[in-house]
Amino acid sequence: MSQTRQTIFMKRKIALIFGGRSAEHEVSLNSAKNIFTAMDTNLFDVQLIGISKEGTWYQFANSDVFKKHKSLNDSRLTDEDMVTLISIGGNPYFYSFRTQERRQIDCAFPIIHGTMGEDGTLQGLFKVVQLPFVGCDVLASAVGMDKEFMKRLMTESGIKNSKYLILRRENMLPYNEIVKELGSPFFIKPANAGSSVGVHKIKTEDDYMNKISDSFLYDHKVLAEQFNEGAEVECSVLGLNQKPKASLPGQLKVHHEFYSYEAKYIDAKGAEIIIPAPLPENQIREIQELAVKTFKSLGCDGLARVDFFVNKNGEILVNEINTLPGFTQISMYPKMWEASGLKYSALITELIQIAFEKFSNDRKLKLDFN
Ligand SMILES: Nc1ncnc2c1ncn2[C@@H]1O[C@H](COP(=O)(O)OP(=O)(O)O)[C@@H](O)[C@H]1O
Ligand SMILES: [Mg+2]
């Protein structure tokens, strides 16, 4: 076989990276288990890399890790193979402390939701070791994670989102002042979190006094936000920043007061999803256009899920963008693609191809003035 043909048929080595120091650690393991099962083994060799809740990196030989562990804790992983990500001569490797061997890696597929995974920190590490990776780059990940900066950039691009105020421990606003600005009820949420942790609907001053400290557990900055009574609609976006495409949107029918952590993950009947969203054609199109506009405006690449409120008067507001959304077979992001004609396994392949394309585009840029 000629050299070029050999290159073409060489399987790409993909590091599927999961777990991490985030409130969504368990969700990540679930996403990773599903991705691992569906990855096209004709194209890819998958290496499983789990990060414990303490932040230690391990490589696992096979998917037994998902059977053995619902979450990764150092105290239960003492027999496992600790690794670190290194770069030698411009090539990224995982180095095993046990065998003292290094394994070259072609691309990372990080599927860590929330802090230290979705917020640009992990992406920064990949860039330092010159490892192509699935998903948004450092800036878009960080902006997508911080609800204040996300909203500022959206507003600047003319993308409607709900009115809000910023609260800090040293700059707290009294309940009455918030109600005067935003009306009642209103929502409070940590600026940097996810999965609805620390999110509360505030109806009374007592609610405010009782719940605000919980929001501050997750971030030093909390948003108070005007309440939207409309339907919650989501839309998946896929592609490079220059040419993203939007899926059919889906609608959530939430059976709790709002789409809380419990409704999302604990109560199996907490919410139903309807794909495509039962909305008129023109609203579907508007949502898809807005999803693409948000993706482009925030500098995203690869994937993101854009979440909306569609209010009763027909007004469409963007609630937030998620740059590493839930990725199990039954999660909204892949489900919306499936309804749009792109199957789970093919979606994974496309995401990896996009990662290589972005990496090769970025490589063409000069790093010095010579
Ligand atoms: N301004 C709001 N009006 C109505 N519901 C809201 C508002 N903000 C948040 N929610 C409810 O809380 C859920 C979680 O809030 P969200 O801002 O999406 O945070 P997270 O990043 O944790 O998902 C939303 O899906 C929605 O059900
Ligand atoms: Mg959300």
The CATH number assigned to the domain holding 152 equals: 3.30.470.20
- What is the structure's pLDDT at 367? 78
φ/ψ of 229, rounded to 5, equals -90, 0
User: Rg of the chain's alpha carbons, rounded to an integer?
Assistant: 21
Domain check: are 149 and 268 in the same one? yes
- 367 within a domain of the structure (yes/no): no
Mean per-residue pLDDT over the chain, rounded:
95
In this predicted structure, the answer to whether residue 4 has a pLDDT above a threshold of 70 is no
Ligand nearest to the CA of 230: 1
Q: How far is the CA of 196 from the centre of ligand 2 (A)?
A: 6
Which of 198, 226, 254 lies at the terminal end of a domain, its last residue?
Answer: 226
Domain check: are 185 and 216 in the same one? yes
Count: domains in the chain: 3
Domain check: are 247 and 350 in the same one? yes
Domain check: are 114 and 152 in the same one? no
Cβ-count burial 29-68 (b if 16+ within 10 Å, e if not): bbbbbbbbebbeeebbebbbbbbbbeebbbbbeeeebbee
- 369 within a domain of the structure (yes/no): no
Q: Tell me which of 203, 227, 259, 312 to substitute to probe ligand 1's pocket, judged by most ligand atoms within 8 Å of the beta carbon.
A: 259
Domain check: are 33 and 151 in the same one? no
> Which residue has 């606003």 as its token pair?
173
- 245 within a domain of the structure (yes/no): yes
- 338 within a domain of the structure (yes/no): yes
In this predicted structure, the answer to whether residue 7 has a pLDDT above a threshold of 60 is no
Q: Tell me if 350 sits within 8 A of 343, measured CB to CB.
A: no
Which of 226, 251, 275 lies at the terminal end of a domain, its last residue?
Answer: 226
Domain check: are 200 and 262 in the same one? no
Domain check: are 313 and 328 in the same one? yes
- 368 within a domain of the structure (yes/no): no
The answer, yes or no, to whether any atom of ligand 1 lies below 6 A from the CB of 215, is no
- What is the structure's pLDDT at 266? 86
Domain check: are 329 and 262 in the same one? yes
- What is the structure's pLDDT at 1? 46
- 51 within a domain of the structure (yes/no): yes
In this predicted structure, the answer to whether residue 302 has a pLDDT above a threshold of 50 is yes
Give the DSSP H/E element, type plus range, for residue 251: strand 250-254
Residue-number span of the structural domain to which 116 is assigned: 3-133
DSSP string, 161-219: ---EEEEETTB---HHHHHHHH-SSEEEEESB--TTTT-EEE-SHHHHHHHHHHHTTT-
- 85 within a domain of the structure (yes/no): yes
Q: Tell me which of 189, 197, 232, 256 to substitute to probe ligand 1's pocket, judged by most ligand atoms within 8 Å of the beta carbon.
A: 189
Question: 221-226 and 186-190: which strand pairing?
Answer: antiparallel
Domain check: are 36 and 86 in the same one? yes
Q: How far is the CA of 199 from the centre of ligand 1 (A)?
A: 7
Domain check: are 267 and 296 in the same one? yes
- What is the structure's pLDDT at 9? 66
In which band, very low, low, confident or very high, does the pLDDT at 36 lie, cut at 50, 70 and 90? Answer: very high
Model confidence over 323-338: pLDDT tens digits?
999 999 999 999 999 9
Cis peptide before 185 (omega within 30 of 0): yes
Q: How far is the CA of 36 from the centre of ligand 1 (A)?
A: 30
- What is the structure's pLDDT at 5? 52
Q: How many CB atoms lie within 10 A of CB 204?
A: 11
Report d(CA 82, CA 209) in Å as an integer. 44
Task: Give the CATH number for residue 68.
Answer: 3.40.50.20
Determine the atom of ligand 1 nearest the C-alpha atom of 225: 1
In this predicted structure, the answer to whether residue 243 has a pLDDT above a threshold of 50 is yes
Give the DSSP H/E element, type plus range, for residue 151: helix 147-156
Model confidence over 224-239: pLDDT tens digits?
999 999 999 999 999 9
Domain check: are 168 and 151 in the same one? no
**Overall average pLDDT of the 8-26 stretch:** 90
- 114 within a domain of the structure (yes/no): yes
Which of 175, 198, 226 lies at the terminal end of a domain, its last residue?
Answer: 226
Model confidence over 39-84: pLDDT tens digits?
999 999 999 999 999 999 999 999 999 999 999 999 999 999 999 9
In which band, very low, low, confident or very high, does the pLDDT at 8 lie, cut at 50, 70 and 90? Answer: low
Task: Give the CATH number for residue 189.
Answer: 3.30.1490.20
> Which residue, judged by its Cα, is nearest atom 24 of ligand 1?
259
In this predicted structure, the answer to whether residue 195 has a pLDDT above a threshold of 90 is no
Domain check: are 96 and 107 in the same one? yes
